[in-house]
Amino acid sequence: MNEAEKITAGEPASGGSHPSGAPLPCAHAPRRSFFFWFTALAGTVAGLLAGVPVVGYFVTPRKKRTDWVSLGPVKTFNEGETRLAMFDNPLGQPWDGMVAHTGVYVRREAGEEGEHKFLVFAINCAHLGCPVSWFPQSGLFMCPCHGGVYYADGSRASGPPPRGLFHCVWRTRDGNLEIQAPHYPTLQDTLTGDQDDTPAKT
User: Of the candidates 13, 102, 106, 180, which one interacts with other proteins according to CB under 8 A?
Assistant: 102
Q: Does 81 bind other proteins (CB under 8 A)?
A: no
24 vs 109, which CB is nearer to other proteins?
109
Contact status: 151 vs other proteins (CB under 8 A): yes
| Contact call for residue 20 and other proteins (CB under 8 A) | no
Q: How far is the CB of 159 from other proteins (least distance, A)?
A: 7
DSSP string, 31-99: HHHHHHHHHHHHHHHHHHHHHHHHHHHHHPPPPP---EEEEEEGGGS-BT-EEEEEEE-TTS-TT-GGG
Residue 199 touching other proteins (CB under 8 A):
no
Q: In what side-by-side order are the strands of the sheet with 68-73? A: 68-73, 176-180, 170-173
Rounded CA-CA distance 150/161 in Å is 9
Give the one residue of 24, 68, 160, 198 binding other proteins; rule: CB under 8 A.
Answer: 160
**What Rg value do the Cα atoms of the chain yield, rounded?**
34
The whole-angstrom distance between residue 34's C-alpha and the CA centroid of its chain comes to 46
> Interface with other proteins includes 30 (CB under 8 A)?
no
**Beta partners for 23?**
17
d(CA 71, CA 51): 45
Does 92 bind other proteins (CB under 8 A)? Our answer is yes
The least distance separating other proteins from the CB of residue 91, rounded to whole angstroms, comes to: 5
Buried b (16+ CB within 10 A) or exposed e, 37-63: eeeeeeeeeeeeeeeeeeeeeeeeeee
Q: Are 7 and 24 in contact (CB under 8 A)?
A: yes
Q: Which stretch binds other proteins (CB under 8 A): 34-42, 70-78, 107-115, 187-195?
A: 187-195
Shortest distance, position 55 Cβ to other proteins, whole Å = 13
Site membership for other proteins, residue 97 (CB under 8 A): yes
Nearer to other proteins among residue 3 and residue 190 (C-beta): 190
In the complex, what is the shortest distance from the CB of residue 12 to other proteins, in angstroms, rounded to a whole number? 45
Residues that bind other proteins (CB under 8 A): 59, 61-62, 64-65, 84, 86, 89, 91-93, 95-103, 123-124, 127-131, 133, 135, 137-140, 142, 144-147, 149, 151, 156-160, 162, 182-184, 186-189, 200-202
